[in-house]
Structure 1
């Protein structure tokens, strides 16, 4: 097994070695090695993962249905709470039906490998999440990337040779690119999909719950939800739980029920998680949910303005709930993350293969449960960009 040690050493030499860290929770502050840290590394945008109402819903489900389902949902693993959650998600997205998977990754892999096949073509944004790419490859369809948000290149690809006889075309994109804090051009993608008879699949993992009216998501924010046949949502970001869902027409969801292997051959989502997610969907659609969204987005804007004033290059487009501070090399990202942790701020150092080489970054995501004082503390922890560049050299 020497080759494994050598491979790991090579990763370490490039600043790409990872490690797990035991943290007590994903709240606005966490304790690590006896130190209290400001947590800006989470996807828990609305701060619901530790909300007492979700905990209560999970506890009641635990007492009613136990810990796990004991089987795949098509066997004996289906519970009423699964169907209630799917109905709530479909209503949130103003769609006919939804199908809940054990994770967002499983959803994307399951959906694309079920819908597409060897005769088909898939055109995907180059910065899509890995789960979309893996699902596309598993489908065995002809798989082509187009440059990030490059509509002209996508149109040229669509104007090229079509799929094999009997085949279909798919355009696949994230709605919000979570490592850049930017939005997909959904309005233009809808037009291209309709013009070239392609099925548009939109993964709204980072928009569901935090973007748009009542947290309905990015497609509703941009006014094109009714023209997108299939959306993917996750329960693990703004909803604060775990799991994923495919959302679309009743016909499409029924097809996935029969063909999505990641659903068919997986044990059903734990009832405690389904119940907590159902409560989260209820909360995000209330006035309180709207207040939390406004607070989170206000904190993002303040953090962005402060970092730009300190000389940093920041990627972000409102209303994305995260932003990225570009630093270049993996080593620089790790050095800055380590420095910030020493100052009491926990951040994500994002490196290849998650992002392209030369674009390593610090990813920051305030939570609705953070305060103005928290954001000022984070800004104070960052050295000015030119000072940090000199220090890093």
Structure 2
């Protein structure tokens, strides 16, 4: 819209008001223009108009630098030459590329689950899985941690299922809410293993206990745990030896694994239900094979190598000690 309309609803005025509101509240976002360079992680070039300078990025979610790893890049170069750029369609029609099938098999093995389903992002994985399950389970009730990611909240809202939000990591509050619901109704407890904003860990074992006690499905978001925890990079639940007690495990490919995409894992039957009923999976072009091959290379490397995890955690401990030494929490 290049100009305001003469009559009727004034769209530009509405849009300007919304942007002005963000400015007035100090919440308007200006993106930093960054250029990553292979071999220089975590240093990037920051572009500001005609000028550019090198800066260290402290906020990247490519936690282990796998986006620059030679095995990942080599696999992606080979896949690009072999398969081309895109997948060629949705999974239902022409986009069920064998590279994606191999990725799902790798993810299922990573988490010791029967099956996995790959998505275009972790956000889409959460929205699709939660909205689908809470919608198709008759009279379902969802219990959601108050600090859950926006994608989980959106998925729960989209299902239109009844929901209860429990205080962050508050097991007593969660159990009070569970007690109030008819034991015959299907229930989902949705929470995270590692909360990205606070860095808190979820009480995974205790929530598994409650899920089993009240016959609820346990849904855990491991986006910020996969690659970084567990004896083969399967996440925080794997670190605790609890993966077998979790019904649905969601994760991302763009954090610890350094590529892009998302996934869910679980029983073959549960994954088949999401595959068959999840509109966010059915009606979209699938991941490019080049991305799937890069993710497989990253997962396979981190299954065998703990060096990246150990270095990352050592750096975190050192930084915490330095901050504590100068009185910063």
Relative to the length of structure 1, the TM-score reads 0.77
* Alignment of structure 1 residues 131-170 onto 2, 5 Å: 131-162=151-182, 167-170=185-188
* Alignment of structure 1 residues 84-123 onto 2, 5 Å: 84-117=102-135, 119-123=139-143
Find the partner of 1:29 among 43, 47, 52: 43
SS at structure 2 position matched to 1:177: coil
For 1:41-78, what per-residue CA distance to the aligned partner results, in whole angstroms no more than 9, with x for missing partners? 10111101122221121111112211111210111101
For 1:131-175, what per-residue CA distance to the aligned partner results, in whole angstroms no more than 9, with x for missing partners? 001000111110111000000000000000327x7x410000011
Find the partner of 2:80 among 51, 62, 69: 62
Query: Cα offset for 1:128?
Result: 0.4
In the alignment, the residues of structure 2 paired with residue 76 and residue 3 of structure 1 have an alpha-carbon distance, to the nearest angstrom, of 42
Query: Cα offset for 1:21?
Result: 2.5
Find the partner of 1:264 among 262, 265, 282: 282
In the alignment, the residues of structure 2 paired with residue 19 and residue 284 of structure 1 have an alpha-carbon distance, to the nearest angstrom, of 35
Aligned residue for 2:205?
187
SS at structure 1 position matched to 2:56: strand
Relative to the length of structure 2, the TM-score reads 0.91
In the alignment, the residues of structure 1 paired with residue 166 and residue 36 of structure 2 have an alpha-carbon distance, to the nearest angstrom, of 38
Find the partner of 2:21 among 3, 6, 10: 10
Aligned residue for 1:249?
267
In the alignment, the residues of structure 2 paired with residue 21 and residue 230 of structure 1 have an alpha-carbon distance, to the nearest angstrom, of 36
Q: What RMSD in Å do the two structures reach over aligned CA positions? A: 1.3
In the alignment, the residues of structure 2 paired with residue 62 and residue 38 of structure 1 have an alpha-carbon distance, to the nearest angstrom, of 30
Q: Number of aligned pairs?
A: 309
Instruction: Structure 1: state its 5+ residue gaps.
Output: 314-393
Q: Which runs of 4+ in 1 moved over 4 A?
A: none
In the alignment, the residues of structure 1 paired with residue 181 and residue 33 of structure 2 have an alpha-carbon distance, to the nearest angstrom, of 51
SS at structure 2 position matched to 1:183: coil
In the alignment, the residues of structure 2 paired with residue 131 and residue 39 of structure 1 have an alpha-carbon distance, to the nearest angstrom, of 25
Alignment partner of 1:296 is 2:312: yes
Aligned residue for 1:378?
none
SS at structure 1 position matched to 2:156: helix
Aligned residue for 1:240?
258
In the alignment, the residues of structure 2 paired with residue 120 and residue 95 of structure 1 have an alpha-carbon distance, to the nearest angstrom, of 24
Aligned residue for 1:178?
196
Query: Cα offset for 1:116?
Result: 1.1
Alignment partner of 1:212 is 2:223: no
Query: Cα offset for 1:123?
Result: 0.2
The answer to which of 57-66 and 2-11 deviates more is 2-11
Aligned residue for 2:220?
202
The answer to which of 104-113 and 62-71 deviates more is 62-71
Aligned residue for 2:3?
none
For 1:241-278, what per-residue CA distance to the aligned partner results, in whole angstroms no more than 9, with x for missing partners? 00011101111111111011111011000111001000
For 1:190-223, what per-residue CA distance to the aligned partner results, in whole angstroms no more than 9, with x for missing partners? 0000000000000100000111111111111122
SS at structure 1 position matched to 2:66: coil
In the alignment, the residues of structure 1 paired with residue 181 and residue 261 of structure 2 have an alpha-carbon distance, to the nearest angstrom, of 37
Query: Cα offset for 1:224?
Result: 1.1
Aligned residue for 1:337?
none
The answer to which of 126-135 and 57-66 deviates more is 57-66
Query: Cα offset for 1:10?
Result: 2.1
Alignment partner of 1:45 is 2:45: no
